[in-house]
Structure 1
Amino acid sequence: MSTAKATGGPLQVPVVDIDGFEDGDTERRAEIARLVDRAAREVGFLQIKGHGIPEIAADGLAEAMDDFFALPFEDKVAYKPPTPEVNRGYTAPRDERLSYSLGVTSPADLFEAYNVGVEASKFADLDLPEDHYPANMWPERPALFERNVEEWMRQANKLANTLTRVFAVALDLPADYFKSYTDHSMDTLRMNRYQLPDGDVRLEPGQLGMGPHTDYGVVTVLWADDVLPGLQILDSEGGWHDVRPAPGALLINLGDLLARWTNDRWISTMHQVLAPVDSEGRPLLRRSAAYFLDGNADAVIDCLPSCLGPEEPKLYEPVTVAEHLAAKLAGSRSLKPNPNAGREASRLRSLSV
């Protein structure tokens, strides 16, 4: 995938207010789509305002995360999935290596996480495969964890689907173009905590909170603490740039499948999270929650005809959502370097030369 364009100065993540897209006039919709198109071409990340998600939902999510991650380790580890292929439940610190999703080896990542997602039972009439839509592993404690997390998922899903409509208009497609690819989307919410225990700040060379990666699906809705060091995105000149959420905004980034659809006209930007320690080596707390709209497991992703031309040859072969996600997850979770990410791997390796 291509990545954010260097501009000779600090890389700015555009702020776009989407209020009025669904019920505004044609001119307002076109202006929002134009701003999103520019951000998608140049940065691959946006800050979305006017998203309509009430603050109480974010507060409930943060409370659920804090209460769960504060549990004793032996309680949390009881919710580890039976195999890495089951993208649900608890991930302990140093269990994953996100750079493996790009085919690049690295030290173990330092974050811990909890995953929930869309279950096959939500679409009982479709007989969806359980391996792509596994059942959630809801912890018994904290008491309000399931309620608060499900509310955030509902809100994030609504925003993500609105964004697919914005994307369609920006690409000169009917507003509902992506609906048939996402109407039983295998979405996942990953809640992350970056905090090393006091006295445990030994880092291997190159060790990060979360290693370099691109997101795998269509679009990501990200709630994150405004804490530095933290999230960084890579520009086209090989420079890493800090990203901090603007007040009242949610971070949005495009995933690999949207880049494939647009033949890399839109960017799935490489990003990472720095180790959770300050400049003096003291542990820091940082939290984030990424809602991944990944698309239907059986959807075939192929280049949009409008993104092909004499000077725009087709960069990717068709792939199903399930095939693409399986290769990516086998890297990060099963530690089998992804063999299908050659261009991304060569770019990442070149940074250390």
Structure 2
Amino acid sequence: MGRVIPTIDLRRWTVGDAMTRAALARDVDQALQAAGFLLVTGHGVDPGLRAGIRAAAREFFLLPAEVKQRYAARVGGRGWLGPGTEANGYAEGTETPPDLKESLTFATAEPFEDPVVNAEWYAPNVWPAEVPALRGLCEEYLGRMAALEKELLSLLACALGLGADFFARHMDHPTYGFNINWYPGTEVVGEPQPGQFRIGPHTDFGTVTVLDRQAGRGGLQVHTDEEGWQDAPYDPAALTVNIGDLLARWTGDRWRSGRHRVLPPPLDAPGEELISLVYFGECTPGTLVESLPAPVGRGAYPPVDSHTYLRAKLDSITVG
């Protein structure tokens, strides 16, 4: 799997000369054609910040259910997604049991000028009063993610031979999703049902996803045509980046929307607990996503409004 999901050092892009940047862009293009995933080092995101978010979020997840219920939200909203809320396999048309996780979910802090867009895509973030440290940590992290996302989109545009702002110009006032996913052991979630995962097989819906994950036996797996399901490579210094559906459509499937899943708690380590920080990049509401023609694109999708697509996908994974 490391052969098709390489590690790239983003400093080759941010401080490299023209030849170094061009070589990196070629490497990225080849990797994203194979699996839709990269490991990215040199991103500058403080590991202490990531650890701090995990510690604060874990305090929340360990609270009694009746306390957490005060912050309950729907999929795509802001707050707590409790057990049984999502089944990501539904997005592929697979009737799996609900995912074995809980999430805290946040999104853009800035309202939109258009009242119709605002009604659909904005609400104030909900910060649990029981864990006051979480807000500052997450807001700092999300600032870093927004900057990293734009840097990555610039690199990706150049990897396709396009102007550096080809994707980033659709980021004037983007939406995004940020999930802190808690994957507890079986003492919390019970014995998994047949076909039940911490997160069922799916592709992400937006542009790029930036994942800070922990190594685990019941962890991330990635699917490729050549190797099927394999454990994703792990580097504690790296962030995992994958292509979502909107960017795959934009590139005419030159780049794959990375199919993945998170395994249930392992039989030989049923108490395993993991926490992932997942930033789902999107774009400004109203963006029209049109497939790039050949020779960049490999096929053509009908043009789609970015947020019509996103809403349909979020609705598709909602249980009940």
Cα distance in 2 for residues equivalent to 1:245 and 1:10: 9
Greater displacement, 264-273 / 191-200 = 191-200
CA gap 1:185/1:205 in 2 versus in 1, 3 angstroms: same
Is the CA contact 1:120–1:129 (under 8 Å) kept in the aligned structure 2?
no
Question: Residue 287 of structure 2 corresponds to which residue in structure 1?
Answer: 299
Q: Secondary structure at the match of 1:265?
A: coil
Which whole-Å CA distance do the structure 1 matches of 2:311 and 2:92 have between them? 13
- Residue 182 of structure 2 aligns to a residue whose secondary structure is strand
Counterpart CA distance in 1 for 2:42 and 2:269 is: 38
Q: Is the 8 Å Cα contact of residues 4 and 31 (structure 2) preserved in structure 1?
A: no
Shift of 1:86: 4.7
Change (3 A) 1:11 1:272: farther
Between 227-236 and 300-309, report the one with greater CA deviation: 300-309
Separation (CA, whole Å) in 1 of partners of 2:262 and 2:201: 8
Amino acid at match of 1:300: L
Moved more, 251-260 or 11-20: 11-20
The 5-angstrom pairing of residues 1-353 of structure 1 reads 12-81=4-73, 84=74, 86-121=76-111, 128-196=117-185, 198=187, 201-237=190-226, 239-276=228-265, 278-280=266-268, 282-307=270-295, 312-314=298-300, 316-334=301-319
Q: 2: distance between equivalents of 1:38 and 1:151?
A: 32
Structure 1 window deviating more from structure 2 (193-202 vs 104-113): it is 193-202
Structure 1 residue 308, shift from structure 2 partner: 6.2
CA contact (8 A) 1:186 1:297 kept: yes
Contact persistence 2:286–2:305 (CA under 8 A): yes
The 1:313/1:240 distance shift into structure 2, 3 A limit, reads: closer
Q: Contact 2:89/2:200 (CA < 8 Å) preserved in 1?
A: yes
Aligned residue identity for 1:292: F
1:25 positional shift = 1.6
The one-character-per-residue Cα deviations of 1:17-63 (angstroms, maximum 9, x if unpaired) are 11041333211211221111111111111000111112222122222
TM value normalised by structure 2: 0.93
Q: What letter is aligned with 1:108?
A: P
Call closer, same or farther: CA 1:253–1:192 in 2, change over 3 Å. same
Shift of 1:10: 7.2
Opposite residue 95 of structure 1, the aligned amino acid is: T
Q: Which consecutive residues of structure 2, in runs of 5 or more, have no partner in the other structure? A: none
Change (3 A) 1:34 1:154: same
> What is the count of residue pairs matched by the alignment?
319
SS at match of 1:105: coil
Task: Kindly indicate whether the alpha-carbon contact (under 8 Å) linking 2:35 and 2:223 is maintained by their aligned counterparts in 1.
Answer: no
Q: 1:209 to 1:85 in 2, by over 3 A?
A: closer
Aligned residues of 1:201 and 1:283 also touching (Cα < 8 A) = no
Q: Is the 8 A contact 1:220 1:252 kept in 2?
A: yes
Contact 1:196 1:284 (C-alpha < 8 Å) held by counterparts: yes
> RMSD over aligned Cα, in angstroms?
2.0
CA distance in 1, matches of 2:244, 2:66: 34
Q: Given that residues 9 and 40 in structure 2 are in contact (C-alpha distance below 8 angstroms), is that contact kept between their aligned partners in structure 1? A: yes
More off after superposition, 204-213 vs 194-203: 194-203
How far, CA to CA, are the matches of 1:200 and 1:64 in structure 2? 21
SS of residue matched to 1:131: helix
- Write the letter of the residue equivalent to 1:139: P
Distance in 1 of aligned mates of 2:219 and 2:240: 13
Unmatched 5+ stretches in structure 1:
1-8, 336-353
TM-score of the two chains, using structure 1 as the length reference: 0.85
Which residue of the partner structure matches residue 4 of structure 1? Answer: none
Deviations 1:211-233, CA, capped at 9 Å, x for gaps = 11100000000001111121101
